[in-house]
A and B are shown apart, each in its own frame.
Chain A
Amino acid sequence: MPQGETPAHLPSDLPPAFATGDQGADLVMNGGLPSQATSLIIGPPGAGKTVLALQIGFAAAQAGRNVVYLTNISESHIRMLQHARNFSFFNESLIRQNFNLISINSSVQQQGIDATLNFIMDVARSAKADMLIIDSYLGLKQLFQSQGPQGRNLMFTLSSRLSMLAVTTILLGEYRYDDIHIEPEFAVADAIVELSYSIYGLKRSRYLSVIKLRGKAFLEGLHRLIISDQGITVYPRQESLPLQPKTFVSTERLSLGIPQLDAMLSGGVFAGSTTLIAGGAGTGKTLLGLHFLQAGRPDEVSLMVSFQESEAQLRQRGAEIDRDPGPHLANPIEVLHLSAVELIPDQVAWLIRQKVVHHNVRRIVIDTIDDFEKSSQYKERINDFIVALIAMLGQHKVTTLLIREMPFMVGHASLQSINQWFATDTIIFMHHVELNSRLQRSITVVKQRGSNHDQALRQMDILDGAITIGEPFSNVSHILTGLPALSRIDSGKESARE
Chain B
Amino acid sequence: MSNDMQILIVDDEDSIADMIADALRDEGYTVLVAYDGRRGLELARSYQPSLILSDVMMPFMDGLKMAELLQHELGAETPPLVFMSAVDCRNQTQAYGSFLFKPFTLETLFATIETILQV
Contacts and interface: CB of A to CB of B under 8 A. Distances in A.
Interface of A: 76-78, 81-82, 92, 95-96, 100-103, 105-107, 109, 119, 122-123, 126-127
B68 interface: no
A127 B60 CA distance: 7
Contact of A78 (B36, B56, B59, B103): B103
Interface in B51-68: 56-62
Contacts of B88: 92
A130 B13 CA distance: 23
B56 to A, nearest CB: 7
Determine which residue in A77, A81, A95 has the highest number of CB atoms from chain B within 10 A of its CB, and name it: A77
A126 B65 CA distance: 13
Given A78-B86, A105-B14, A95 B59 contact: no
A123 B60 contact: yes
B35 A76 contact: no
B15 A105 contact: yes
B15 to A, nearest CB: 7
Contact of A119 (B14, B59, B62, B89): B59
Closest 7 CB pairs of A and B: A106-B35, A106-B14, A103-B12, A103-B13, A81-B86, A95-B87, A123-B59
Contact of A77 (B36, B60, B61, B86): B86
Nearest to B58: A102
B102 interface: yes
21 contacts: A76-B13, A76-B15, A77-B13, A77-B102, A78-B16, A78-B102, A78-B103, A92-B88, A95-B57, A96-B57, A96-B89, A101-B57, A102-B57, A103-B12, A103-B14, A105-B14, A106-B12, A106-B17, A106-B35, A122-B60, A123-B59
Contacts of B56: 96
B interface SS class: loop
Given A105-B12, A105-B15, 12 more contacts: A76-B13, A76-B15, A78-B102, A82-B86, A95-B57, A96-B56, A101-B57, A105-B13, A106-B14, A107-B35, A109-B14, A123-B60
B86 A122 contact: no
Nearest to B33: A106
A78 B13 CA distance: 10
Nearest to B102: A78
Given A81-B87, A92-B87, A105-B15, A100 B35 contact: no
B42 to A, nearest CB: 15
A126 B60 contact: yes
A106 B15 CA distance: 8
B62 A96 contact: yes
A79 B86 CA distance: 9
Nearest to B103: A78
A106 to B, nearest CB: 4
Contacts of B17: 106
A122 B17 CA distance: 21
Nearest to B11: A103
Determine which residue in A78, A81, A103, A127 has the highest number of CB atoms from chain B within 10 A of its CB, and name it: A103
B36 to A, nearest CB: 8
Contacts of A127: 59
Nearest to A71: B13
Contacts of B102: 77-78
A106 B60 CA distance: 14
B65 to A, nearest CB: 10
Given A76-B16, A106-B14, A106-B35, A96 B59 contact: no
A122 B86 CA distance: 24
Given A77-B13, A105-B14, A106-B35, A100 B86 contact: no
Nearest to B13: A103
A96 B59 CA distance: 11
Determine which residue in A77, A105, A106, A122 has the highest number of CB atoms from chain B within 10 A of its CB, and name it: A106
Contacts of A126: 59-61
A226 to B, nearest CB: 27
Interface string B59-80: 1111000000000000000000
A403 B67 CA distance: 68
Contacts of A119: 59
A151 to B, nearest CB: 21
Contacts of B87: 81, 92, 95-96
A497 B89 CA distance: 85
Contacts of B58: 102
Contacts of A122: 59-60
A116 to B, nearest CB: 12
A90 to B, nearest CB: 11
Determine which residue in B13, B62, B88 has the highest number of CB atoms from chain A within 10 A of its CB, and name it: B13
A245 B88 CA distance: 55
A102 B16 CA distance: 13
Determine which residue in B12, B36, B88 has the highest number of CB atoms from chain A within 10 A of its CB, and name it: B12
Contacts of A101: 57
A119 B86 CA distance: 23
Contacts of B14: 103, 105-106, 109
